[in-house]
Amino acid sequence: MSARPSMHVLLAAPRGFCAGVDRAIQIVEQAIAKFGAPVYVRHEIVHNRHVVERLQRIGAIFVDELDEAPDDRPVVFSAHGVPKSVPAEAERRDMIYVDATCPLVSKVHVEAQRHYNNGAEIVLIGHAGHPEVVGTLGQLPDGAITLIETVEDAKAFEPRDPASLAFVTQTTLSVDDTAEIVAALKARFPAIAAPHKEDICYATTNRQAAVKAMAERCDVVLVIGSETSSNSMRLVEVALRAGAGHAALVEDANAVDWARLEGATTLGITAGASAPESLVESLIAAVGERYDTQVEELRVTDEDVVFKLPRILTIEAAE
């Protein structure tokens, strides 16, 4: 029997769950524990099938819109944020609702509202149709925010008043792509107001930095994540741009095209912010079944961010 080929595995760190995703999952779990099953969840709580299916097994029912949930059961809003009309409708129906919007997305909502209150025209850099973008656009009246997706959009944009402009961004974008769009806007509109602090979240930034640090050494980079996960898709793009021979998004170890690894000697592995660490462990085990593996973790920074749960889940009902 021939010896198995060798594979050096570079494991990016940080990877996987961010604080906002961790909090959102805990919110669904705690809501089920507090109110009993079923608890309804508007949209996927986070963009990962494995997470969604596990929560379904313990009593979560996922719906696309609020009108699919009954008045008498609690509803959770996803980590991506929702238009203001959604909680307003829940209140009108006297529903118990828990908002799992990531606090870093809520920060963008607050910024957009502040600029609007100050009379500024607002530009949102993001991807059309993404739930986070839909939620941010829905914070203000129609037409108050213009969505810009590309450098070309930035160059074509014609504001009402170039002297009264502000921009915010989706939190899960490519750091480099966003910097190019911002540069194009600033070149045309030097007075445009920027966020007080970077809108792209710490976790997106850190996961992209870790992939950049390892990509050039990798024949192949595998990113564990869902095709609906913006931050996971960006990791594939970052890996290719940073010098990886090949990069692919895989939902789990079962989705790996092993033929792509033939002849490779160095494999990079990371996971998007909504992918559980168990999927990383399963992928490493699957690689180990086929190769003589040596695993090296490449860590660019440590993360210690924790977000508090909403008060409705942490207070006991008054006796």
Question: How confident is the model over 300-313, as pLDDT tens digits?
Answer: 999 999 999 999 99
Please report which confidence band the pLDDT of residue 316 belongs to, taking 50, 70 and 90 as the band edges.
low
Q: What is the pLDDT of residue 199?
A: 87
Catalytic residue among 111, 132, 216, 303: 132
**pLDDT reading at 227 higher than 60:** yes
Question: How confident is the model over 74-120, as pLDDT tens digits?
Answer: 999 999 999 999 999 999 999 999 999 999 999 999 999 999 999 99
Measure Cα distances from 17 to 21, 129, 148, 235, 254 in Å. 6, 23, 28, 14, 20
Q: What is the mean pLDDT of residues 138-144?
A: 95
Domains (range + CATH), the chain: 6-17+202-299 (3.40.1010.20), 19-102 (3.40.50.11270), 104-188 (3.40.1010.20)
Q: At what angle do helices 103-117 and 19-35 cross, to 10 degrees?
A: 100
Q: What is the mean pLDDT of residues 202-228?
A: 96
Please report which confidence band the pLDDT of residue 2 belongs to, taking 50, 70 and 90 as the band edges.
low
Q: How far is CA 310 from the centre of its chain?
A: 20
User: Is 132 assigned a catalytic role?
Assistant: yes
Q: What is the pLDDT of residue 3?
A: 81
Question: How confident is the model over 3-15, as pLDDT tens digits?
Answer: 899 999 999 999 9
Please report which confidence band the pLDDT of residue 314 belongs to, taking 50, 70 and 90 as the band edges.
confident
Nearest by Cα to 102 from 78, 125, 86, 124 = 78
- Burial class of residue 285 (count of CB atoms within 10 Å of its CB; 0-12, 13-18, 19+): exposed
Question: How confident is the model over 242-291, as pLDDT tens digits?
Answer: 999 999 999 999 999 999 999 999 999 999 999 999 999 999 999 999 99
* CA angle (23 as vertex; 20, 28 as ends), nearest 5: 130
Enter the pTM of the model: 0.93
**pLDDT reading at 163 higher than 80:** yes
User: Any residues with CB less than 8 A from the CB of 24 and at least 6 apart, and which?
Assistant: 45, 46, 78, 79, 100, 102
Q: What is the pLDDT of residue 198?
A: 83
What is the C-alpha separation between 237 and 303, in angstroms, rounded?
23
